[in-house]
């Protein structure tokens, strides 16, 4: 099977996570996407983090209510009870499921920071990297609807995009020019209603593409022996962060544009972020 893994603290899980996972599912024809809350995230040292049990339960409530059968909530890292290092997670997954191929879904900032991660060469040996890049979203009929406001119509569940860069490895010199010839994200990966598109610094998709290819080149030069397989994942930009959600809760704001009803109910029921 081809399995995408979307990790993080999920404190809380929000609509942008679901959109990125849906885009990965469709663009790369993944069989499943695993949402994997971090157990003891070393990158959050010194910052308050909701307990792993609550974060896992909240993520599971979100995925169960969302209605996409290929989405899974995984307790793999939380159950491990060791400090969370992505490279070790994927090494263990590779050993436990040798017949499956694992795809790590991440953002551009994470890709650029990957050389500073714990044992990046080990991670690159055991995972295909899918890096979410912003592209202009097509106007027109949106296909996302249903319980989670992002579940596509049943007729649109087939794979709609055959990515030109879905291949083993990437030649940055030739791929950079190819990228600019196709700057549309599939409408099936549209941003959720009410969410803001764009970021405060107003970076353009073209600027992000340049950053992507520069990051890939660095990883190829430093870890070429690991044969890094790094691919573009085309998504709309959705300006949602867990920090924004926690601030909204503190200030009595509405959460509908940020999280699904199941997550909003979980936050209210357990008195989180107050």
Which tokens in the block code for residue 201?
Answer: 């610094």
What residues contact 249, with CB distance under 8 A and at least 6 apart?
A: 255, 267, 272, 273, 274
Residues 66, 68: Cα–Cα separation, whole Å: 6
Q: Which CATH superfamily is domain 2-270 in?
A: HUPs (3.40.50.620)
pTM over 0.85: no
Which tokens in the block code for residue 69?
Answer: 């059968």
Residues 186, 235: Cα–Cα separation, whole Å: 8
Which tokens in the block code for residue 186?
Answer: 């599939």
DSSP-derived secondary structure for 189-253: GPPPTTPPPS-TT---HHHHHHHHHHHHHHHHHHSGGG---EEEEEE------HHHHHHHHHTT-
**Which of 22, 17, 7 lies closest to 187, judged by CA?**
22
For 56-82, b where at least 16 C-beta lie within 10 A, e where not — what string?
bebbbbbbeebebeebbbbebbbeeee
Domain boundaries defined on the chain: 2-270
Residues 233, 28: Cα–Cα separation, whole Å: 8
Q: Identify the pLDDT of residue 202.
A: 65
List, run by run, the mean pLDDT of 10-residue segments along the chain (274 residues): 97 95 95 93 68 96 95 95 87 97 97 96 97 61 29 28 32 41 42 46 80 96 93 88 94 93 97 95
Q: Identify the pLDDT of residue 178.
A: 42
């Amino acid at each position: 099977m081809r399995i995408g893994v979307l990790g993080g603290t999920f404190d809380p899980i929000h609509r942008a996570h679901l959109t990125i996972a849906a885009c990965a599912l469709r663009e790369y024809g993944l069989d499943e996407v695993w949402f994997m809350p971090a157990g003891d995230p070393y990158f959050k040292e010194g910052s308050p983090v909701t307990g792993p049990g609550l974060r896992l339960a909240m993520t599971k409530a979100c995925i169960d209510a969302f209605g996409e059968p290929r989405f899974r909530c995984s307790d793999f890292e939380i159950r491990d009870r060791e400090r969370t290092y992505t490279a070790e997670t994927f090494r263990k997954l590779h050993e436990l499921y040798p017949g499956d191929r694992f795809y790590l879904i991440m953002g551009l900032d994470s890709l650029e920071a990957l050389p500073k991660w714990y044992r990046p060469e080990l991670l690159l040996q055991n995972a295909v990297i899918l890096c979410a890049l912003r592209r202009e979203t097509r106007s027109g009929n949106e296909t996302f609807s249903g319980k989670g406001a992002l579940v596509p119509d049943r007729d649109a569940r087939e794979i709609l995009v055959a990515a030109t860069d879905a291949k083993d490895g990437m030649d940055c010199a030739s791929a950079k020019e190819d990228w600019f010839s196709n700057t549309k994200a599939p409408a099936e990966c549209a941003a959720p209603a009410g969410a803001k598109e764009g970021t405060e610094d107003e970076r353009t998709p073209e600027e992000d593409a340049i950053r992507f290819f520069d990051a890939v080149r660095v990883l190829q030069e430093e870890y070429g022996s690991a044969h890094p397989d790094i691919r573009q994942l085309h998504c709309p930009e959705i300006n949602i962060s867990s920090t924004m959600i926690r601030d909204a809760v503190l200030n009595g704001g509405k959460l509908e544009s940020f999280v699904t009803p199941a997550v909003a109910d979980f936050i209210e029921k357990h008195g989180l972020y107050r």
